[in-house]
Amino acid sequence: MMNKLIIGISVLLLIGFGTSNLKAQTDTLRAENKKEGKIKTGFSFGGVPALAYDTDLGFLYGIILNVYHYGDGSNYPMYNHKVFMEWSRTTKGSGKNILIYDNRTLIPNGRMNLELSYYTEKALDFYGFNGYNSYFGDEYLNDEDTSYISRLYYRHDRKLLRMKADFQGKLFGDNFRWLAGFSHYDIGVSSVDIANLNDGKKGDDLLPDTASLYDRYVEWGVIPQDQISGGVTNMLKFGVVYDSRDNEASPNRGIWSEAMIITAPGFLGNDYSGTKISLTHRQYFTLVKEKVVFAYRLNYQGLIGGEIPFYMMPFYFDSKSVRDGLGGAKNLRGIKRNRVVGDGSVLGNIELRYTFLNTVVMNQNFSITLSGFTDVAQVVQFHELDITGVTASYGKTAEENIAEINYTGESLHVSYGLGLHFAVNHNFIIAVDYGMAGNPQDGNSGLYIGLDYIF
C-alpha cells in the first residue's frame, strides 16, 4: 500500500527575485559586504510548487508564494512587508487557501499580522486524547493484518475558517514588545466521506465503509453531543514578547521568548469559555561564525480556567502563527500529526544547524544548511473523559475498548532526524525535514517539505 509518495518540489521558483525593473527597486544595490552578501531593496518574490500523491486523498497540486518588500534596504535582512499565499488542492476535495500579511511599518517599532484561511480536510488525523493514554493500533491501518479496520480509521473530516489579527508594539527597551490579537474560528467536523474517497477506486484500493475512532467516540459519548459537529470560537490574545534575534527567519544568535494568555470568553458568543496560557523560550547560539548555530525551543501550554471543546484542543499557539496540535511538520517531526493532545502539554526542540554553502547567485544571497534535530513532547494536563457509554465493538468487549482509551501511562514522545534548508536572501527558506519516531505508538517516520525553520 502506498500511503504517501512525494513526487517532488522541483526547484525554487525565482519569480522575479530582486526584480530591477520594478519602480520600487533602487537603480543600484548598496555596496556588497563580503560577509553578509547583497543588501536587498524593493520587492523580492519566491515560490515553490506543492506536488504529492496519496492513495486515499488523490493527487495534491498547488503553489506556495512569498512576496517581500525591503524598502530602501535599511532594515535588511528584515523586510518591511511580507505576503504569504498558499493554494493547494487534492483531487478528492481537500484544500488549503491561506493568505497572511505581515506589516512591520504601520505600528512604530511594532508589527501587524493578518490571516484569512480556509481549509477543507477530508481526513484529518485524530488519535484520541492524552497522548499514550490513547492506544494507537498500526494493525488497524494495515489491510494485510487480520485486525485491519480501515486505512483512515484515525481520521475525520474538518472544515476550518480562520480569521486572525495580531498586533505588537514597543513596550520598553529595544527588545520588549506587547502583544494583542483577536481570532475567529469556524469549524465543521464530521465523519470521513468514504463514498467520496472511494469514487473511481476498485478492488483492494477501496476503503471499507466502517466506523472510525471519531465515530466510536461520538457513539460512546466520549466526545460530548454538542461538540461532535464543531462550532464557532472567538478568542482574544494578550502577552509580552522579548526578541533579540539578529534575523527573524534564520537567526544566528539571540533570544525569542513570550508569555501569552489566550481566552475564549462567553461575552464573545462562545458556547464554551476557556483560557489557556502559553510560555515559550527560544534561544540561538553561534558556535562557528557564519557556519554552525545551536538552537532550542521550550514551550508549555495549559488550561488555566474553563473548558476547551475537543475541536479546539489540537491547536498550538505562539506569537507568530497557529498550528495544528503536537505532532508533525512544525513541532514533532516523525510523529503523527495531532498525536499529543490534552488540556496541557510541554514541548522541546533542539537543532544543530550547519551552513555549508553561503554565496551570491544571480544577484541573490543563497545558502544551504544541514541540521540534526531531536523533538520531544508530553501531555502534562489530562483532558477528562466520560467513558460510561463505552460498549463492545469490532470484536472487543467494552472493557477492552476502555483499556484502549486509557491505554498506558503518558511519557515523553521523542523523535529525531535530519533537515536541509535552502535560503534565498535570508528570508525565503525551503525546508526539507525527515524525522523518525522513537516509539511505534507515535508512528514510524515522516518526510516534510515546506517553508521556514520550525522555530
**Please, where are the H alpha helices in 39-124?**
none
Write down the mean pLDDT value for the chain: 89
More confident: 116 or 42: 116
pLDDT band at 7 (very low <50, low <70, confident <90, very high): very low
Q: What is the pLDDT of residue 397?
A: 95
Q: What is the pLDDT of residue 25?
A: 33
User: Mean pLDDT across the stretch 168-173?
Assistant: 93
Report pLDDT digits (tens) over 35-74: 445 788 888 888 888 887 777 788 889 999 999 999 888 8
Percent of the chain whose predicted confidence (pLDDT) is above 90: 72
Query: In which domain, by residue range, is 336 found?
Result: 4-451
In this model, does residue 18 exceed pLDDT 50?
no
Measured CA distances, 407 to 131, 134, 152, 154, 156 (Å): 10, 5, 21, 16, 21
Q: What is the pLDDT of residue 19?
A: 33
Q: What is the pLDDT of residue 362?
A: 85
Q: What is the pLDDT of residue 37?
A: 59
pLDDT band at 446 (very low <50, low <70, confident <90, very high): very high
Q: Cβ distance 376 to 347 under 8 Å?
A: yes
Report pLDDT digits (tens) over 333-359: 999 999 999 999 999 999 999 999 999
In this model, does residue 113 exceed pLDDT 60?
yes
Report pLDDT digits (tens) over 216-228: 999 999 999 999 9
The CATH number of whichever domain residue 165 belongs to comes to 2.40.160.50
Q: Cβ distance 198 to 155 under 8 Å?
A: no
Q: What is the pLDDT of residue 27?
A: 36
Per DSSP, the three-state class of 170 is strand
Length of the chain: 455
Q: What is the pLDDT of residue 78?
A: 83
Report pLDDT digits (tens) over 380-401: 999 999 999 999 988 899 999 9
Q: Per DSSP, which regions of 104-229 are E strands?
A: 111-125, 155-172, 176-190
**Please, where are the H alpha helices in 39-81?**
none
The whole-angstrom separation of Cα 272 and Cα 310 is: 11
In this model, does residue 17 exceed pLDDT 50?
no
- As given in the structure block, the three cell numbers for residue 364 are 541573490
pLDDT band at 212 (very low <50, low <70, confident <90, very high): very high
Q: Cβ distance 333 to 435 under 8 Å?
A: yes
The whole-angstrom separation of Cα 320 and Cα 323 is: 10
Q: What is the total count of domains within the chain?
A: 1
Report pLDDT digits (tens) over 123-151: 999 999 999 999 999 999 999 999 999 99
Q: Per DSSP, which regions of 272-384 are E strands?
A: 274-288, 292-306, 316-317, 322-323, 344-361, 364-381
Report pLDDT digits (tens) over 410-426: 999 999 999 999 998 88
Q: Cβ distance 84 to 428 under 8 Å?
A: no
Residue of 177, 175, 157 whose CA lies nearest to 167 = 177
